[in-house]
A and B are shown apart, each in its own frame.
Chain A
């Protein structure tokens, strides 16, 4: 019963939606019926066009995430461990952080045109900050008493990093990763909608030109599903890596 409870409201909405379309109260040009959306999904899946678009969008998302997240992680670690490096770069980064990365779209199109670089750049930039900020915060909040213990027990600098600093910063890094994943999809949706010749955003814009509302709704749902899958994988990783933490032990 408990497992069914959360599904009652969404199922009800679907039923009402279907009924409204069925009785002509909801125009197919505004919102196609759930069955019409399912049909459109079947169509684009069979033609193979959907898989190509999902593949290219997913590739863009994760390549951008890897670049931005990798640099953010490295700089966060460096600035957390070295006062000099932090003094040198942190205030600049904090200033740049105030610029919404999507505001750079016109500039990015000028620089890169509508090629892959533009989308990778925007995603990487968007993902960079949450990972950087949370890695830095994680390293800073590592228990000093544990660091002192490591030193008193003769751990090498390397051992202190891998056994104390990194695991200590990991919960915070995961917060950054999950936040970054959200920004990753959001940035990609905007970038693909504005300028692309492939990908899910392109599929949606293309369908719009031909007034295929059902396909537009399908692409929106695909974005939602991809976002949900990425977040679930991150949660699973988090729960596995942080099993020691009583906060994640239950569930």
Chain B
């Protein structure tokens, strides 16, 4: 809480590098009624790491992200962010598969949704415009969301997530609905803002190639447990079709298709 207030220093042009927050999960379980979805997850993510989570559909990836975003409470275990058990909700931002923009608000007002703490309007607008610039949509502040393309809407959603300088940015299959080319553009953009701002990135994806292209570390979730924890130690920017990447991808796919 107090950390996030400090991050909002009204100083112009302060680059919030190294705002990443560390995540620690200890024995986290989640059940919906009788159905156990997460069976005790132990996991430490250092500040600023780029983590990808892959796994079969229904294995609990979204459930895990919702716990991290504070949208849901774990049934058991502890979640700590930067060593705090509570008060970190504002430090985490979640991006969904759909842009989820408010259709009745223009682009800038949609981005300002990310600035939860009421502040002076001019300052909010300035921060929103800065975030819109970061995602490459300068000049579109006054448009209605309905006239933007799918990729542009997702960029606005990214600006909304970035505008409060979160310590953790969690993505739930954010590119799943985009065409192949727009996907690659968005991957590049996400990598670029991550390098620029230094938040901790947690991306759920069903695309193993995407995971290998972006992440420092890939977690494979299976039946509510972390079944594989792979470090991707490849230099950036990563080339598409690198044999080392293909090898990692092959290993993960093999494990995914087992059974």
Contacts and interface: CB of A to CB of B under 8 A. Distances in A.
B146 A146 contact: no
B96 interface: yes
A244 B103 contact: yes
A153 B116 contact: yes
Contacts of A155: 113, 116
A216 B89 CA distance: 69
A152 interface: yes
Contacts of A173: none
Contacts of B69: 152
Interface centre among A145, A151, A153, A170 (most CB of B within 10 A): A153
Nearest to B71: A152
Contact of A167 (B90, B100, B104, B113): B104
Contacts of A249: 144, 146
A118 to B, nearest CB: 40
Nearest to A166: B104
B98 A152 contact: no
Nearest to B106: A244
Given A152-B71, A153-B113, A145 B100 contact: yes
Interface string B124-161: 00000000000000000000111100000000000010
Chain A: interface size category: 20 to 34
B102 A153 contact: no
Interface in A138-195: 145-146, 148-155, 163-164, 167-168, 170
B146 A164 contact: no
Contacts of B96: 145, 149
Nearest to A167: B104
Contacts of A149: 96, 100, 113
Interface residues of B, number: 23
Contacts of A145: 96, 98, 100
B94 interface: yes
A153 B114 contact: yes
B188 interface: no
Interface string A55-92: 00000000000000000000000000000000000000
Given A148-B71, A149-B96, A155-B116, A163 B102 contact: yes
A248 to B, nearest CB: 11
A244 B71 contact: no
A148 B103 CA distance: 15
A246 interface: yes
B105 interface: yes
A146 B102 contact: yes
A170 B102 CA distance: 13
Interface in B76-111: 89-90, 93-94, 96, 98, 100, 102-106
A47 interface: no
B105 A152 contact: no
B100 A146 contact: yes
A244 B144 contact: yes
A246 B146 CA distance: 7
Interface in B220-257: none
19 contacts: A145-B98, A146-B100, A149-B96, A149-B113, A150-B113, A152-B94, A153-B93, A153-B114, A154-B89, A163-B105, A163-B113, A164-B102, A167-B104, A170-B104, A244-B103, A244-B104, A244-B145, A245-B103, A249-B146
Interface of A: 145-146, 148-155, 163-164, 167-168, 170, 242-246, 249
Q: Which 4 A-B pairs have the closest CB atoms?
A: A154-B116, A149-B100, A167-B104, A244-B104
Given A149-B96, A152-B71, 18 more contacts: A145-B98, A145-B100, A146-B102, A148-B100, A149-B100, A154-B90, A154-B116, A155-B113, A163-B105, A163-B113, A242-B104, A243-B144, A244-B103, A244-B104, A244-B105, A244-B144, A245-B146, A246-B146
